[in-house]
Structure 1
Amino acid sequence: METKPTEIGSSKMFGGYNKRYKHFSPTLGCSMTFHIYFPPCSSPSHKFPILYWLSGLTCTDENFIIKSGAQRAASAEGVALIAPDTSPRGLNVEGEADSWDFGVGAGFYLNATQQKWKNWRMYDYVVKELPKLLSENFPQLDTSKASISGHSMGGHGALTIYLKNLDKYKSASAFAPIANPINCPWGQKAFTNYLGNDKAAWEEYDATCLIKKFHNVSATILIDQGEDDKFLHDQLLAQKFEEACRSVNVPLLLRLQPGYDHSYFFISTFIDDHIRHHAQALKL
């Protein structure tokens, strides 16, 4: 099985290229796809810093690349975008596609401990396998200069991965993240199935809990949240994360955006700010 990435698609955009790759993932036990946006390059020896984007429930590696318009700012700032898929696919585990908020398209960026879901190891895929794969196969990428962002479930992933790996990422941001999953229906469903009933294990994947443990954050965390997001008050709980950051003096810029919802219309409106936020941190 081919663990080296094979290019399966390429489209020019803002002087650079969106390229899609397929590879076999030993971590997940299945074939995976991911996208890289390479900004335009003037010198063959130039290495780009990278921004990982983690997508939300039901998404693939294509949603962000097609809908966000992030490539315009990434091209201008010289930042490569890395967009992985959101879960293993094609394993045909019983029940994996029974609902949109669990299983396929809903990996929650954790390492499952329950035997049935043992392949759901998106945390290790994003934190360990993918950076190694990129550094070994794409000399034009500087994987030592990386930041991380995401939306909804992916915002949860970006925040938790960042907090647990402050040495690996220069900055973090999120759009409408699931900020306190142990206290919302999406998180409780996913964590019960993937991690069992051990609430201490749940807290290891909850940004609001983790911020109290890993609070030596120096870079400001940027979060945009639509005020008209129908999931804000029962699923996302941005205010809980804000309170936790305040309690340990972690720098957080939480921007509540009037009239905006949970969609990519919202993301595409503010994505340039996030790209610039990360570009600044990556160039330090």
Structure 2
Amino acid sequence: MADTAVPNLTKLSSNKSFEGELTKYKFKSAALGGLDAQFNLFLPKTASTGKVPVLIYLAGLTCTEDNGAQKGGFLKEAATAGIALLFPDTSPRGAGVEGENEDWDFGTGAGFYLNATNPKYSVHYNMLTHVTLELPQIIEAAGIPIDFNRQSIFGHSMGGHGALTLYLASRTKQYRSASAFSPIANPTQCPWGEKAFKGYLQGGIEEAKKAGYDATELIKQRGKDEPVHILVDYGTGDDFYKKDQLLPENFLKAARDAGHDEFQVRVRSHADYDHSYFFISTFASDHVHFHANFLKA
């Protein structure tokens, strides 16, 4: 990201919840080409006495910063554990790129948590930089009491892809743990991923593999001498799972082949659950507790 002045945050709304506070903010995003960006941030009550760790939630296709905050069922457990929750948006908004609103699974609402290299999209579609660098920078600059030395990340569907890849690709160990609900776990081998990578990246699928945008490819490179902390849940009643958009078995096999046992990579299937937030909220507490083990250590 360019070395520019840190933008000011504008508070849009605030709601008390579980003795903490959920606040929506807006700012001018340099990473997203100067567009307005919004995010939700939940601070537990314990943030009033000192910095707290943070768990970042990445939402899926067509979603915004509101879906996880309002429907995920994460706030109560996070409040109890003393963990902040950060909910970014899923793409830039209003970039004005020709065709970005033609399909529900590409363009607006479908940023795929990468940095685009296709010149058509590269000015605005830089969600990787937005999530990993820009948001922590502007939150710290605003004096909000979050300890970014204690970060973990999770997400759903496209956001599960984002959580796993941002975690596994980070050699700086930015995140202590990662988890995912119904992730697009092997995107270079499924229609959603192929569409995104061929559109956003000049080098298409091959560039995606080299750039670290496929969790199954990344876990192959992380041998057992590099411990990981990953939890994945998916439902067997998920239509997208049935259509081979998610491919969690590919990720699990690659993890086991690389020497990661069930204590490092746990992939759980749940009979008859679908792709919705009913599924996510059912297992929300499991994921917050999983991350708390590492964030509170």
Task: Tell me the TM-score normalised to structure 1 length.
Answer: 0.96
What's 1:91 paired with? 95
Matches within 5 A, 1:129-140: 129-140=134-145
Check if 1:173 corresponds to 2:179. Answer: yes
What's 2:233 paired with? 224
What SS is found at the alignment partner of 2:45? coil
Which of the numbers 244, 247, 258 marks the counterpart of 1:237?
A: 247
Partner Cα separation in structure 2 for residue 125 and residue 77 of structure 1: 26
What's 2:153 paired with? 148
What SS is found at the alignment partner of 1:202? helix
Which of the numbers 259, 276, 282 marks the counterpart of 1:269?
A: 282
Which of the numbers 214, 222, 225 marks the counterpart of 1:206?
A: 214
Partner Cα separation in structure 2 for residue 255 and residue 140 of structure 1: 34
Matched positions, count: 283
Task: Report how far residue 227 of structure 1 moved.
Answer: 1.0
Task: Report how far residue 44 of structure 1 moved.
Answer: 3.7
State the superposition RMSD in angstroms: 1.4
- Structure 1 stretches of 5 or more lacking a match? none
Which letter maps to 2:194? Q
Contact 1:11/1:17, CA 8 A, preserved across alignment:
yes
Check if 1:257 corresponds to 2:257. Answer: no
Contact 2:186/2:246, CA 8 A, preserved across alignment:
yes
Which letter maps to 2:71? K
What SS is found at the alignment partner of 1:116? coil
Task: Report how far residue 2 of structure 1 moved.
Answer: 8.1
Matches within 5 A, 1:1-284: 3-29=7-33, 30-41=35-46, 44-118=48-122, 119-166=124-171, 167-203=173-209, 204-215=212-223, 216-233=225-242, 234-250=244-260, 251-284=264-297
What SS is found at the alignment partner of 1:110? coil
Contact 2:222/2:258, CA 8 A, preserved across alignment:
no
Partner Cα separation in structure 1 for residue 228 and residue 294 of structure 2: 8
What SS is found at the alignment partner of 2:8? coil
Which letter maps to 2:281? S
Contact 1:134/1:143, CA 8 A, preserved across alignment:
no
Contact 1:2/1:23, CA 8 A, preserved across alignment:
no
Partner Cα separation in structure 2 for residue 244 and residue 138 of structure 1: 41
- Structure 2 stretches of 5 or more lacking a match? none
Which letter maps to 1:222? L
Task: Tell me the TM-score normalised to structure 2 length.
Answer: 0.92
Q: Is the deviation greater in 43-52 or in 166-175?
A: 43-52
Partner Cα separation in structure 1 for residue 290 and residue 32 of structure 2: 32
Task: Report how far residue 18 of structure 1 moved.
Answer: 0.7
Which letter maps to 2:249? Q
Aligned residues: percent identity?
A: 47
CA offset digits 1:144-201 (Å, max 9, x no partner): 1000000000000000000011511110000000000001000000000001344331
